[in-house]
Every structure is written in structure tokens, then in C-alpha cells.
């Protein structure tokens, strides 16, 4: 299996090379040359999560040996997850929640970022690269902590995370600023997530800066969902979830299902599209946005327009105006038209807007306001004694709207992307719990009473952990800050 850029098909890389590189020199994202087909689902029915992971990774990473993948899977999906199922299903009323938040940082990013360090380390060993790899990350909340935790003390790597000063929840912020590990660096950015993401992309594309890094013994790579090594492991849980639905007699073998995903950068929902292209019986992709509604507007109108003010919401991981992985989706659905992708991405960069009408109706777009998020959190709590985080509530709201507007009654898997404990303010307010005067950790205890579960240890201990990182950057000096940190400065 070879990989090439969405903007230039002429250069082919192996899977390992694409994982190391992260993003192409031309600014494009790496995509597989074709979609491998899943084997007969009946043969996979009794497989564990680890077994399905092994199978899917072997289909895509053909330059890795079976033993190399097996070792990476075993190290990634182990006791660091709260449950042996890794991804449990919760059937609540007419909805099925694919709970993706039982990893070490309590967000779906753990599903890929638990294995990416091992895939990258293996790829580096095979490549003969001598420089130290610098994992450069822009985060709207969850990716940063998951990357820091995944790459902590991994030999031959350093991790630098930029997060928007005002764009993450208090728990997300504390998770990152208390991060341990000699090779980890966290930087607060005076800007929003798009500023952070644009700054990181510019560093990847800056030849002079990359040459300077190389002279100092460093080479850049990414742990954001622009890295194909992030995207491929996300396919696993959709396949696993479908098979669990069969085992729990919710559907029969071969039945079509829908998938509802709260998405900002379009990576998580793109993984469901990849699963569909591999033969998983997915019918509709319900693309759920928050008040920023950039993707809702795009799929409804055919116009992608980032020329708007970014709103700060209760679902910060979706507070994004440049959905990077949409480029991959457009590439695949345009018949792999690289010149079209170059044209549209240039228009986005220069004008802030482009038009593109995707063919077919695989995607149903909708959004949730802050009022709707609160309504559906309260609704499900009262009806099913089940509590969602705000991101999951966005997807549930879009799913309910789809049901109202459609005769489609396929079972829908809702990607439940974060633990409610990470967003206690919005959740407690939504279910009518008074918390005036409470600090963040008292709020966790209030929520624990309503969820009938103990506060996760790794969140409870944040109260006592010291702040380890106190770096701050403006959008214009991210390169300088990065270089200083790598050279041992402050």
C-alpha cells in the first residue's frame, strides 16, 4: 500500500514514511492509493478489539511486519483503558452510544494516539532516520493531552503542544499544564485553535525553518489528525462497534447502520467514511456541528466560508473554522482530482472561501445550539439516567433532527467522544445542579453523584498536581518559541 498527497499523486510513500512525515511538502495530506476491503464480517465476529486492530492495520500498513503491528497493538490497547472491551456500547432508548472515552485522557483521541507513538517508533527504526522527531501539535483541547500522554518519554521524540489560551475547558487546561515527561512541552497561545493549526502548518511548510531544525538534529512530524497514522486507527472502532451491535442482537449481519459524529476537523467522521469504503454497511454519515456550523453550512450550500468569527462554545474540540480532513474527503469524492484540490485549498488560503458540491447524499449535515445541547443532555438524563458530554450531545441532537426529517430508521451509532467529567460546568447546568462557589474538583464530585460512578482517578488527582509548563506564545512567534524549547530555552 502506497500513500500520496491530496495535492500531488506523483510522489509515493510507504505507510511508515507517511506517518513520519505527517504532512506533505506541498501542504497536502497523505491518503492511501486505494481502499482495502474488509474480509467477510462473519469471520471477524468473535475477534477482540485488539484482533480487529491488527487486521485493519495490516491492510493499510503493508510495509510493517505482522509481528511489528502485533507488538504495537498490544502496547496500545492494554490496561490503560478502563474496560477490557476498550470501546463499550451503551444502548439508551433509540440510540446506541459508541463510548470512545475510556482511555487515559478520557477522550476519543486516545483511540489513535495510544498506538501512534508505537507505529512512529517502528517506522523510525525501519527508516534509519537519526534526527530526533519533534511531534508538533495544535489542539482545541483533547488531542494535546492525548499526544502528550502517548509520546511521554518515548525515546527519540519531543512533543510540543500549542493550545488556545481561552479555548479549552478548565479540566483540559489542567490536564495539559500538569503533564509530566522530560520530552513534553506545552505552550499557551494568544489566539484561537485555527491560529494554532495555521501556525503549525506553516512550520511544516517553511523550508528555511525545517533546514534550521535539521541542522540542530530535529525533524518535524505531527500527531494531529492530518497524520494518516491518526486516521487509520480510528477506522477500527467503527468496525468493532458494528460487530458488537450484531453480538448484542441490536442488528443482524449485513444490516445497514448510520453513524453520527460531532466533528470540527472532520477526522473522526472521515474514519467512518473509510470504513464504509472498505465494505462496512454504513448508510448515512450524520455530520454534527456546534454554533460554528462551518461544516453544516458547507454540506448544505456547497460553499466553504471561513470568513466568520470563531465562537467559543461548550464543545471546544469542535471550535474550528478550517476542517483539515475535509480535504481528504473532497479528494476521494472528486475522483482523486489533485488539481481541483490544489485550486480549492489555494482559494481557501487566499480568499477564505471556495465552492465545491460533493456528489451523492452520504452526508447529512446539521448542528446544535447551546440551548439544544443543554436540552438533550437533560432529556437523556431524565429519560435514561444517562449523561452525555456536550460534544456527544451535539451528535445526538443532529441524530434526532435527522430522525424527524427522514423515514430512515436504521440503527445509528453515535460517536460519544469525551467523558462528561471533562465538561462539568455545561453538564451540571444542563441537568439543573447548582454549583455556584464550587471549584472544578467539587464540581466533579457533584457530577459523580448524578452519574453513579466515581470520579476517574486521573482527573481527581489533577487537583494536587503542580503546574509543569508556563510557556506562552503569540501567533507570530510560534517558530521562535518552538526553536527555543528544542534548544533547552524557556
Furthest-apart CA atoms within the chain: distance in Å: 61
Cell numbers for 239, please give them: 468496525
Q: Are 200 and 224 in contact (CB under 8 A)?
A: yes
Question: Angle formed by the axes of helices 370-384 and 390-405, to 10°?
Answer: 90
Between strands 95-99 and 132-138, the pairing is unpaired
Q: Within 10 A of 468 (CB to CB), how many other CB atoms are there?
A: 14
Find, among 146, 155, 169, 153, the residue nearest to 224 by Cα: 146
- Is 41 in a helix, a strand, or coil? helix
Give the Cα separation of 433 and 54 in Å (integer): 44
Locus of grid cell 459523580? 448
Give the Cα separation of 191 and 138 in Å (integer): 12
Cell numbers for 213, please give them: 531544525
Locus of grid cell 458494528? 242
What residues act catalytically?
109
Q: Are 98 and 416 in contact (CB under 8 A)?
A: yes
| Nearby residues of 199 by Cβ (< 8 Å), 6 or more positions away | 138, 162, 189, 191, 475, 478
How long, in residues, is the chain? 490
Give the Cα separation of 110 and 128 in Å (integer): 28
Between strands 257-262 and 411-416, the pairing is parallel
Q: Counting Cβ atoms within 10 Å, is residue 43 exposed (0-12), middle (13-18) or buried (19+)?
A: exposed
Give the Cα separation of 443 and 423 in Å (integer): 10
Q: Within 10 A of 64 (CB to CB), how many other CB atoms are there?
A: 22
Cell numbers for 168, please give them: 479549552
Locus of grid cell 504495537? 72
Locus of grid cell 474538583? 441
Cell numbers for 280, please give them: 462496512
Q: Are 31 and 231 in contact (CB under 8 A)?
A: no
Between strands 89-92 and 3-5, the pairing is unpaired
Element (H, E) at 214: helix 207-215
| Nearby residues of 337 by Cβ (< 8 Å), 6 or more positions away | 331
Amino acid at each position: 500500500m502506497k500513500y500520496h498527497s491530496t495535492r500531488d499523486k506523483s510522489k509515493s510513500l510507504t505507510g511508515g514514511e507517511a506517518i513520519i512525515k505527517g504532512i506533505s511538502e506541498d501542504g497536502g495530506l497523505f491518503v492511501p492509493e486505494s481502499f482495502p476491503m474488509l474480509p467477510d464480517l462473519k469471520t471477524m465476529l468473535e475477534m477482540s478489539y485488539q484482533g480487529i486492530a491488527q487486521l485493519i492495520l495490516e491492510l493499510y500498513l503493508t510495509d510493517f511486519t505482522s509481528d511489528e503491528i502485533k507488538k504495537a497493538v498490544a502496547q496500545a490497547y492494554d490496561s490503560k483503558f478502563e474496560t477490557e472491551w476498550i470501546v463499550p456500547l451503551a444502548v439508551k432508548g433509540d440510540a446506541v452510544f459508541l463510548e470512545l472515552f475510556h482511555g487515559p485522557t478520557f477522550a476519543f483521541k486516545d483511540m489513535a494516539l495510544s498506538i501512534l507513538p508505537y507505529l512512529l517508533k517502528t517506522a523510525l527504526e525501519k527508516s534509519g532516520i537519526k534526527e530526533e522527531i519533534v511531534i508538533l501539535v495544535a489542539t482545541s483541547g483533547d488531542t494535546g493531552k492525548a499526544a502528550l500522554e502517548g509520546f511521554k518519554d518515548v525515546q527519540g521524540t519531543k512533543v510540543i503542544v500549542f493550545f488556545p489560551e481561552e479555548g479549552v475547558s478548565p479540566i483540559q487546561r489542567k490536564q495539559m499544564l500538569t503533564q509530566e515527561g522530560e520530552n513534553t512541552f506545552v505552550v499557551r497561545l494568544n489566539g484561537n485553535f485555527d491560529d494554532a493549526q495555521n501556525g503549525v502548518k506553516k512550520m511544516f511548510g517553511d523550508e528555511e525553518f525545517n533546514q534550521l531544525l535539521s541542522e540542530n538534529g530535529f525533524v518535524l512530524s505531527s500527531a494531529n489528525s492530518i497524520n494518516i497514522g491518526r486516521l487509520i486507527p480510528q477506522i477500527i472502532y467503527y468496525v468493532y462497534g458494528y460487530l458488537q451491535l450484531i453480538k448484542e442482537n441490536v442488528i443482524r449481519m449485513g444490516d445497514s447502520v448510520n453513524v453520527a459524529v460531532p466533528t470540527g476537523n472532520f477526522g473522526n467522521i472521515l474514519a467512518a467514511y473509510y470504513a464504509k469504503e472498505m465494505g462496512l454497511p454504513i448508510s448515512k454519515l450524520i455530520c454534527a456541528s456546534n454554533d460554528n456550523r462551518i461544516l453544516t453550512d458547507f454540506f448544505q450550500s456547497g460553499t466553504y466560508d471561513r470568513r466568520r468569527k470563531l465562537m467559543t462554545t461548550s464543545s471546544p474540540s469542535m471550535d474550528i473554522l478550517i476542517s483539515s480532513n475535509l480535504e481528504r474527503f473532497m479528494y476521494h469524492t472528486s475522483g482523486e482530482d489533485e488539481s481541483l484540490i490544489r485550486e480549492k485549498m489555494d482559494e481557501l488560503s487566499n480568499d477564505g472561501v471556495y465552492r465545491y458540491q460533493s456528489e451523492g447524499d452520504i452526508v447529512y449535515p446539521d448542528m446544535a445550539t447551546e440551548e439544544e445541547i443543554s436540552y438533550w443532555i437533560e432529556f437523556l438524563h431524565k429519560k435514561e439516567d444517562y449523561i452525555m458530554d456536550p460534544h456527544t450531545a451535539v451528535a445526538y441532537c443532529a441524530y434526532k433532527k435527522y430522525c424527524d426529517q427522514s423515514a430512515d430508521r436504521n440503527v445509528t451509532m453515535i460517536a460519544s467522544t469525551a467523558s462528561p467529567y471533562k465538561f462539568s460546568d455545561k453538564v451540571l447546568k444542563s441537568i439543573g445542579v447548582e454549583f455556584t462557589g464550587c471549584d472544578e474538583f467539587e464540581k466533579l464530585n457533584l457530577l459523580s453523584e448524578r452519574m453513579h460512578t466515581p470520579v476517574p482517578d486521573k482527573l481527581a488527582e489533577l487537583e494536587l498536581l503542580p503546574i509543569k509548563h508556563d510557556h506562552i506564545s503569540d501567533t507570530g512567534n510560534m517558530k521562535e518559541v518552538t526553536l527555543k524549547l528544542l534548544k533547552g530555552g524557556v
